[in-house]
Amino acid sequence: MQETVQATQQEALAAIAAATDDAALEALRIEYFGKKGRFRAFFQEMGKLSPEEKAQAGQYINAARTAIEEALTARKEAFKASQFADLDQKEWLDVTAPGTRETHLGRGRLHPLTQIQYEVEDIFRSMGFNVFDGPQVEDDFHNFGALNIPADHPARDMQDTFWLTNGRLLRTHTSSVQVRAMHAHKPPLRGISPGRVFRYEATDASHENTFYQVEGLMVDKNISVANLIYVMKVLLREIFQKDVEVRLRPGFFPFVEPGFELDISCLICGGGGCPVCKHEGWVELLPCGAVHPNVLRNCGIDPTEYSGFAFGMGLNRLVMMRYGIDDIRHFQSGNLEFLEQF
């Protein structure tokens, strides 16, 4: 048996020396030390020997096993060392060389909605407005109650609002951020709240169930509709880089009194009529008006001392008017060819 073990050891050492990679070494390890390997057979044969013979056989079997294991380890370490020996030649890289452009990747860019949002923020900051942010998942008070929207108002209908099972909702406007701002800051106050909003409604060329708004608010002593009109004119002139024809018509909104609808002449069709303006020549851009006294009271502001104006504007429609985009659904289509134009 001793001769068989020694012959097996020599055979194993020769095979290890001839192995060319880690896979070959692993195959040899299994051949000699696996569950059905040669050394397991040696230990099984020991059961047939006398106690004295078992002790002697155990010594030369273990010695052979140790020699083979050490050879496997040494060969494995040699492979690892040689793996990086000529790496500087095989994978040499000049880090000082100029980069090469990957034509299939191209440069990243900001979404057109993000671009217009940043621009609007800069315009309002130049007029002394702050930029406020708030949660997209809201409670009833901040989204409706504080804004003088009673429980039976149509805006609460399931066709308009995404309600969650815990009684909360996805905000239908960023006016909820204005409520939070009025609770956190005392007048005088001026700020805008841009962000994503959600409406449970059918989509078409000018309506989406997920879109972006920017809403603005100014609260101080002796604020009137004249202040509102001035701020809107400055905004539109800066956005479109020209004077835009607008019209102001009466509108009802629970959170303003009086309330107005500000429309602009459709810049897609020049007022001639198209799907975006529903063939009327005018596009509803933003509801606005004087802040309702109840809203001020709900936010801890005395309406006998302070007044204000508020407005809300769809960023999607603003981008559509600016760049002549005829379908609001392009913005969330994931079409890179569309986005790369901006």
Helix (H, G, I), strand (E, B) or coil at 200: coil
Q: What is the C-alpha separation between 290 and 247, in angstroms, rounded?
A: 17
Distances (CA, A) of 92 to 86, 97, 101: 9, 12, 19
Pair of tokens at residue 48: 């047939």
* DSSP classification of residue 292: P
Kind and range of the H or E element at 301?
A: none
> What are the chain's domains?
2-90 (no CATH), 112-339 (3.30.930.10)
Please give the sequence-ordered ranges of beta strands (E in DSSP) within 146-225, or none if there are none: 169-170, 189-198, 210-220
In 3D space, the residue among 308, 284, 278, 279 whose CA is nearest the CA of residue 294 turns out to be: 308
What is the pTM assigned to this prediction?
Answer: 0.62
pLDDT in tens, 244-257: 888 888 988 889 99
Distances (CA, A) of 18 to 83, 161, 305: 17, 73, 95
Report pLDDT for 16.
Answer: 86
Q: What is the CA radius of gyration of the chain?
A: 38
* DSSP classification of residue 32: H
First to last CA, the chain: 82
In 3D space, the residue among 309, 312, 266 whose CA is nearest the CA of residue 287 turns out to be: 312
Please report how the helices 112-126 and 315-323 are oriented relative to each other, as an axis angle in degrees rounded to 10. 100
* Burial classification of residue 303, based on how many CB atoms lie within 10 Å of its CB (0-12 exposed, 13-18 middle, 19 or more buried): middle
- Max avg pLDDT among 13-17, 127-131, 239-243, 265-269: 127-131
Q: What is the C-alpha separation between 221 and 329, in angstroms, rounded?
A: 42
pLDDT in tens, 128-177: 999 999 999 999 999 999 999 888 877 677 558 899 999 899 999 999 99
Average pLDDT of 321-335?
Answer: 83
Mean pLDDT taken over the chain: 86
pLDDT in tens, 104-114: 556 677 888 99
